[in-house]
Amino acid sequence: MNRDETLKALIEAIVYVSPDPVSAEKIARALEGLESAGGPEEAENCGQSHRARIQALLDDLVEEFERQEHGIHIRQVAGGYKFSSKPEHHEVLRSFVKSLKPPIRLSKPALETLSVIAYRQPVTLPEIDEIRGVDCGGVIHTLLEKKLVVTSGRKNVVGRPILYKTSRDFLVHFGLKDLSELPNLREFEELARQALGGDAGGASSEDAAVSLVQDGLRAPESPAQPPKDDLA
């Protein structure tokens, strides 16, 4: 892949991931580091050349996505560029979107409980209650309803409490191949907010949630990594 092809691929990715229309100037600034630096005058000329190149490559992308073989195109919206579906496909897409499941939303308690299950699975409700310091029965019921958690038999102790583990839907929502790809706890908190739209509160709430799960992970008999045979 040559330099222009690399830049074009990066421009396409930036427009794709941006939630709002992104301007050519902003794209150029994001890719400035790919240009070599020289003296002040050379840097200025290089900057102008870089912005012109980015605009030209962006124009090429817009033209490419206007072809019939693409169902989406890049539109200019409010001074920026944004991917959107083409008008001629809207009727079919509208019907398809209506058939989709509504996005999953999680409260902070549900997110914390899901974190405990993800890193301690398979785990019982009493163990989860002990880690979080509150009754989690209602939260577990919510996670089961949302199909992010499933039962995994019973633990062979007095009372034989039910074991819980994450589900296949959990892997899908977080974009994980399997549980071995679980990120560290802070990354998981951020990933959870993005993937599930949960409100985890401010920084102090995040720190509290992470500390809570870390305390649970340091508890006796806590596995360092979820066993492979517990995958959904």
Q: Is residue 7 part of a domain?
A: yes
Average pLDDT over all residues of the chain? 78
Whether the predicted pLDDT of 86 surpasses 70: yes
Instruction: Report the share of the chain in percent with pLDDT over 90.
Output: 38
Mean pLDDT of 201-230: 41
Give the pLDDT band of residue 35 (cuts 50, 70, 90). low
Tell me if 121 sits within 8 A of 152, measured CB to CB: yes
pLDDT value of residue 220 = 35
49, 78, 98: which is the final residue of a domain?
Answer: 98
For residue 50, what are the contacts with CB-CB under 8 A and spacing of at least 6? 28, 31, 32, 35
98, 130, 164: which is the final residue of a domain?
Answer: 98
Q: Is residue 189 part of a domain?
A: yes
Query: Terminal CA-to-CA distance of the chain, rounded, Å?
Result: 39
Mean pLDDT of 201-223: 41
Q: Is residue 194 part of a domain?
A: yes
Give the pLDDT band of residue 229 (cuts 50, 70, 90). very low
pLDDT value of residue 193 = 65
Whether the predicted pLDDT of 198 surpasses 70: no
Pair (123, 198) in one structural domain? yes
**Chain-centre distance for alpha carbon 155:** 32
pLDDT value of residue 101 = 74
Pair (84, 124) in one structural domain? no
Nearest to 110 by CA among 209, 202, 203: 209
pLDDT value of residue 46 = 59
Whether the predicted pLDDT of 95 surpasses 70: yes
| Higher-confidence position of 174 and 146 | 146
Pair (152, 206) in one structural domain? yes
Please count the structural domains in the chain: 2
Q: Is residue 160 part of a domain?
A: yes
Tokens read off for 187: 């990354």
Pair (84, 116) in one structural domain? no
pLDDT value of residue 205 = 38
What's the pTM value of the predicted model, to 2 decimals? 0.52
Give the pLDDT band of residue 47 (cuts 50, 70, 90). low
Pair (117, 185) in one structural domain? yes
pLDDT value of residue 98 = 84
Pair (60, 133) in one structural domain? no
Pair (35, 128) in one structural domain? no
Pair (116, 81) in one structural domain? no
Number of residues that this document lists for the chain: 232
| Higher-confidence position of 33 and 79 | 79
pLDDT value of residue 124 = 95
Whether the predicted pLDDT of 107 surpasses 70: yes
Assign residue 59 the CATH number of its domain.
1.10.10.10
Q: Is residue 103 part of a domain?
A: no
For 204, the domain range is 108-230
Nearest to 51 by CA among 75, 26, 17: 26
In angstroms, the CA 152 to CA 129 distance is: 18
pLDDT value of residue 62 = 93
